[in-house]
Chains A and B, each alone.
Chain A
Amino acid sequence: MSACPDKELLLHALADNELDAGNVLALEAHIATCHGCAAELEAIREVKARLKAAPLAYEAPQSLLDRIDAALTEAEAPPSQARRRRGVGSETWVLSGTGAALAASLALVAFIPAGANLQLALVDAQARSLEASHLVDVQTSDRHTVKPWFNGKVDFAPPVVDLAAQGYPLVGGRLDRIDGKRVAALVFHRGAHVINLFIWPGDAPSAPLMQQKDGYNLVRWGQGGLVFWAVSDCDPAALSGFQKEFAAQTKP
């Protein structure tokens, strides 16, 4: 049993909501009496549903985004001007830590956004993680579960340690996106507070840099070719303590 040959394209169009009312009426009347066409319509809907259920469209790789962004940045301002402007404004203090690297190349600037934007993205990611029950994708205090969970999800191996003994129990991990880049996020508790630790490949000084943004405390450090940003609304001393413990536990 199969569909009427002259109806096949119409059945696809019906499944795609591309038919006008008149054709819909006529076709539905036909389907009501034609099992072949009814079965075909079901099958078409099934194919569509399966295609929709799987994330088949590709995401642009970060390297492409960076290249496009670099081209746009260049178009927006000549390199010398862009560099000069970056030194002005309220966020200068944030940039001082990475100033040399920023000046080094525009491509790098595109890859690691200037401090202000990155901080906003991190704070937003922290706030978002507390809403909508999306704090963790893998919920466990067992670091041996969390670490392999990241395999294949990010193209680097984030160090995972449980700092329960130090007062920062590991809650779990999740994937997040900071500025379009896929990053690993580890989640810890400090009393009633949540600490999000975002990790991605990059270079940063190993000395911690404490910052504040929108009522959150942030601390950044680098280790082993990875950049770490811890964000929390706990007090700066507790966050600083977390940074020291984590860095000490993950020292190569």
Chain B
Amino acid sequence: MSGRLLPFRRSPARASVGGTSSFSSAPSGARREGPAGTAAPSSRPSEAPRFRELIAPHIDAAYSLSRYLARDAAAAEDIAQEALLKAFRNLDALRGGEVKPWLMAIVRNTYFDWRRRDNGRTVTGLAADVAMAETPADDASAEDDLIRQGDVAALRRAIETIPEPFREALVLRDLEEMSYRDVAETTGVPMGTVMSRIARARRMLGERMGVLEATA
């Protein structure tokens, strides 16, 4: 079980009692705020209420994408934070658009910026690739057994070994359950490319699960 029992960070007015705030708002029928949007004051000093309403529900998704891109927990946290604050500063640009593809595109760009800046100092991806290549046959088959059993950590490692463009497409489609159109919007490539990347990624995973054949 996930342990996530509260509807998480639903934002809102109630959370700012006393001047502090928090993302979560425990479920309580009697106290629940009105429909989304009622909490945001129209005054201009801060976009924080809008952020809590629109962006906060996607913080997990932003972090998860960062994590699968960077393949390193500390780097992922930095990237996600930078991306979320960027989104906060640029909320104006969102007017009317879809939130998730917009936010995920920011996460992705932040990751590419980070990778350029970092320039190999954090060899997360490389380390993972090397570790994979050097895995002895026994360990590799033990790992595949775990993957077949649906072991979460092993499946996550398996996803990490998928080359980047395919991995990203799979994470957005199969983990975040975004539509092809939204994945295309996030990654800035045509739908056909999205489709073939998803197919490739699933094939790589499917082989290790013992489900899909090696070649079509």
Contact = CB atoms under 8 A, between A and B. Distances in A.
11 contacts: A2-B215, A12-B199, A47-B209, A50-B155, A57-B176, A63-B77, A69-B23, A76-B49, A81-B19, A113-B20, A114-B17
A125 interface: yes
A60 B59 contact: yes
Interface stretch (B25-33, B108-116, B127-135, B136-144): B25-33
Nearest to B8: A180
Contacts of B28: 120, 124, 127
Q: State which size class the interface on B falls in.
A: 35 or more
Contacts of B52: 72
A76 B81 CA distance: 18
- The interface residues of chain B, by DSSP majority, are classed as helix
Interface string A2-44: 1101001100110010100000000000000000000010011
A46 interface: yes
A178 B215 CA distance: 48
Interface in B63-78: 63-64, 67-68, 73, 76-77
Interface residues of A, number: 72
A34 to B, nearest CB: 13
Contacts of A44: 202, 206, 212
**Chain A interface helix/strand/loop/mixed:** helix
A139 B18 CA distance: 38
A44 B204 CA distance: 11
Given A43-B211, A56-B175, A123-B26, 13 more contacts: A46-B211, A48-B174, A50-B209, A61-B77, A68-B59, A75-B47, A76-B21, A77-B19, A91-B17, A91-B18, A115-B18, A117-B17, A124-B28
B30 to A, nearest CB: 9
B2 A89 contact: no
Ranked 5 nearest A-B pairs via Cβ: A124-B26, A85-B19, A60-B63, A58-B64, A180-B24
Interface of A: 2-3, 5, 8-9, 12-13, 16, 18, 40, 43-44, 46-48, 50-61, 63-65, 67-69, 71-73, 75-77, 81-83, 85-86, 89, 91, 95, 102, 109-110, 113-117, 120-121, 123-125, 127-128, 134, 137, 153, 175-180, 182
Interface of B: 1-6, 8-9, 14-24, 26-28, 31, 46-49, 51-52, 56, 59-64, 67-68, 73, 76-77, 80-81, 84-85, 88, 150-152, 155-156, 159, 171, 173-176, 179-180, 192, 195-196, 198-199, 202, 205-206, 209, 211-213, 215-216
